[in-house]
Amino acid sequence: MKHIINALVENKPGVLAHVAGMFAARGFNIDSLVVGRTEDPRFSRMTIVVIGDDRVLEQVRKQLAKIIPVVKVQDFSGQPVVTRDLMLITVAAPPEKRAELFAIIEVFRGHVVDIGPKSLTIEVSGPESKIEAFIDVCRPYGIKSLARTGTIAVPRQAGAEL
C-alpha cells in the first residue's frame, strides 16, 4: 500500500542526505521524494511516498521523528489530501501529427512549453493516474524525454471542493 508522509525539516545542507541515509540503512524503499522550501525559508517540506504495510509505515514515522533537523512528521494515511505530480515530457511531433497531439494535450489540460521542429515539450500536472494515462497516450508518438517531480501533497481543507 502507498503511504504519503510529509516531513517539515530545517532548511540546512545535509538534511536530505541524512533522511535518505536513514531509509537506506533500514532497507525502506522510497517510491517518491520531493523537497522544496516552504512559506518560511528556514524550513523545507519533504513529501515522501513509501510502499509497505502499516508496520513499515510506523517504523518510517518513528525513525524520521528521531532525526534532529526534522521538525514535524505527518502521515496522510486515511486523511483527505490533495496530491499532484508534475511532468515535463518531450514527444516526437512531426507537423502532420501536431493537431492530433494538441487535441490530446487539451483533454489532459496540459500545456505546450516548447516547440521544436520535430517535437513538443508538454507540461502536465495532476494525480499520478492522470500522468500515467498521458504517458500511455504519448507512447505511440515516441517519447524523447520525460522528467517527473513525484507526488506532492497537502491536507484537504474541511468543506473545500473544486
Residue 162 has what pLDDT? 47
Q: Does domain 2-75 have CATH number 3.30.70.260?
A: yes
* CATH number of the 82-155 domain: 3.30.70.1150
Asked, colleague to colleague, whether 2-75 and 82-155 share their fold, the answer is yes
Global pTM reads 0.82
Contact assessment for residue 101 and residue 120, using Cβ atoms and an 8 Å cutoff: yes
For 66, residues 6+ apart whose C-beta sits below 8 A from its C-beta are none
> Would you list the domain boundaries of the chain?
2-75, 82-155
Exposure string of 126-145, with b = 16+ CB inside 10 Å and e = fewer, is bebebbeebbeebeebeebe
**CA dist., res. 15 & res. 70, Å (int):** 8
Tens digit of each residue's pLDDT (9 = 90 or more) over 60-92: 888 888 888 899 999 888 889 999 999 999 999
